[in-house]
């Protein structure tokens, strides 16, 4: 059969053409990816025998019971969730001026400068950025140095002495971890937010100004509501990425565990795959709930 005949054949039978295209990616995603997810789910219904430390391969809800009844485990979930919410809010606040400027004011070269300026750190090696923050937050590192030069050492010490967020140094405190998370996911908030703001028609702003609104009023009452889908889309990334990360909590060490670290430790040194699997179901559930909420704010229209 020659190519031309084949292409006509498939043009007349769009479903055959679709099947031809879809079979390889579907085979891959269906077996490797979905198959793995089901394997994970399956293992979370196994349990580990307390005495022999062997995995008992019979379906049980024992592991989930352990997850929701042990206060230490509940603490981990609450701690991770709190961090994810705090990071999402901080990212939205810092991203707003950057996204507004690059989408609504910057033109030509300046606009390209801002877009490249946001994309470069976003795609720079994840581990290198985490490592950089280790240097920044260290006791003798650059933040302490700048604080010392500006005579702000007492402010830094007061922050570190604060209960809950403080610690011996920034590199071993929840405050430090919060800064690193916010830094890492900021570009993921800026880009969808800027995309949403790009789509606000100029005529709306003109109308608002014609009707006597000051720029600040226009921003609050016209631009901000229209940016909400972008913020919602960005928050899906900041929320999801924080929930699942285990590198940042282990490198910027605060005493408490996070979900990702728990999964990592349980499958590794502890050898408790069922509990690791059950723990990794937690972010899946939380993100599903979050996606449902974000969808109501139009997150998917802004992606």
Partner 1 sequence: MRSSYRPDRPSLFLRIGAFAGLAFMHIPVLLIILYAFTTEDRTYQFPPPGLTLKWFSRAFERSDIWQSLTLSLGVAACATVMALILGTLAAFALARAKFPAKDSLTVLFALPIALPGIVTGIALLAAMKLGGIDPSFFTIVAGHATFCTVIVYNNVIARLRRLPSNWVEASMDLGADGTQTLRYVLLPQVATAFLAGGMLAFALSFDEVIVTVFTAGKERTLPIWFFNELFRPRDRPVTNVVAVIVIAVTLIPILLAYYFTRPDDEHETAR
Binders of partner 1 in range 160-189 (CB under 8 A): 183, 186-187
Residues contacting 39, CB < 8 A, separation 6+: none
Nearest one of 93, 291, 101 to 194, comparing CA atoms:
101
Question: What's the N-to-C CA distance of the chain in angstroms?
Answer: 42
User: Could you give the 3-state DSSP secondary structure of residue 47?
Assistant: strand
The site for partner 1, by CB under 8 A, has a size of: 99
Interacting residues with partner 1 between 106 and 125 (CB under 8 A) = 112, 114-121, 123-125
Interacting residues with partner 1 between 40 and 59 (CB under 8 A) = 40, 42-43
Interacting residues with partner 1 between 74 and 103 (CB under 8 A) = 94-98, 100-102
What is the C-alpha separation between 295 and 252, in angstroms, rounded?
A: 33
Stretch that binds partner 1, among 28-36, 65-73, 159-167, 225-233 (CB under 8 A): 28-36
Interacting residues with partner 1 between 126 and 145 (CB under 8 A) = 126-136, 138, 140-142, 145
227 binds partner 1 (CB under 8 A): no
Which residue, 8 or 70, has its beta carbon nearer to partner 1?
A: 8
Which residue, 110 or 164, has its beta carbon nearer to partner 1?
A: 110
- Report the residue from 11, 61, 161, 221 that binds partner 1 according to the rule CB under 8 A: 11
Helix (H), strand (E) at residue 55: strand 55-56
User: Could you give the 3-state DSSP secondary structure of residue 48?
Assistant: strand
**Contact track, partner 1, 228-247, x by CB under 8 A:** --------x---xx-xxxxx
Helix (H), strand (E) at residue 286: helix 273-296
- Report the residue from 150, 198, 225, 293 that binds partner 1 according to the rule CB under 8 A: 198
Written in H, E and C, the secondary structure of 191-246 is: HHHHHHHHCCCHHHHHHHHHCCCCHHHHHHHHHHHHHHHHHHHHHHHHHHHHHHCC
């Amino acid at each position: 059969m020659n190519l031309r005949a084949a292409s006509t054949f498939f043009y007349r039978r769009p479903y055959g053409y679709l099947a031809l295209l879809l079979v390889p990616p579907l085979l891959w995603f269906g077996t490797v990816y979905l198959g793995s997810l089901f394997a994970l789910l399956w293992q979370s219904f196994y349990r580990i025998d307390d005495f022999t430390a062997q995995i008992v391969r019979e379906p049980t809800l024992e592991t989930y019971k352990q997850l929701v009844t042990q206060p230490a485990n509940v603490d981990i979930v609450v701690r991770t969730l709190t961090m994810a919410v705090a990071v999402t809010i901080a990212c939205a606040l810092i991203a707003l001026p950057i996204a507004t400027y690059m989408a609504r004011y910057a033109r030509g070269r300046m606009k390209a400068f801002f877009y490249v300026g946001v994309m470069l750190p976003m795609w720079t090696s994840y581990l290198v950025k985490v490592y950089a923050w280790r240097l920044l937050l260290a006791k003798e590192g650059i933040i302490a140095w700048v604080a010392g030069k500006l005579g702000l050492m007492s402010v830094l010490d007061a922050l570190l002495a604060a209960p809950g967020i403080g610690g011996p140094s920034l590199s071993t405190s929840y405050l430090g971890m919060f800064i690193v998370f916010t830094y890492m996911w900021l570009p993921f908030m800026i880009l969808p937010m800027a995309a949403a703001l790009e789509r606000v028609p100029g005529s709306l702003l003109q109308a608002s100004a014609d009707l006597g609104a000051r720029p600040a009023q226009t921003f609050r009452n016209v631009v901000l509501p229209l940016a909400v889908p972008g913020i919602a889309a960005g928050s899906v990334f900041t929320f999801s990425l924080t929930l699942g990360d285990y590198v940042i909590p282990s490198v910027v060490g605060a005493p408490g565990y996070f979900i990702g670290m728990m999964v990592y430790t349980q499958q590794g040194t502890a050898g408790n795959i069922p509990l690791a699997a059950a723990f990794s179901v937690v972010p899946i559930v939380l993100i599903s709930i979050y996606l449902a909420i974000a969808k109501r704010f139009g997150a998917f229209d802004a992606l």
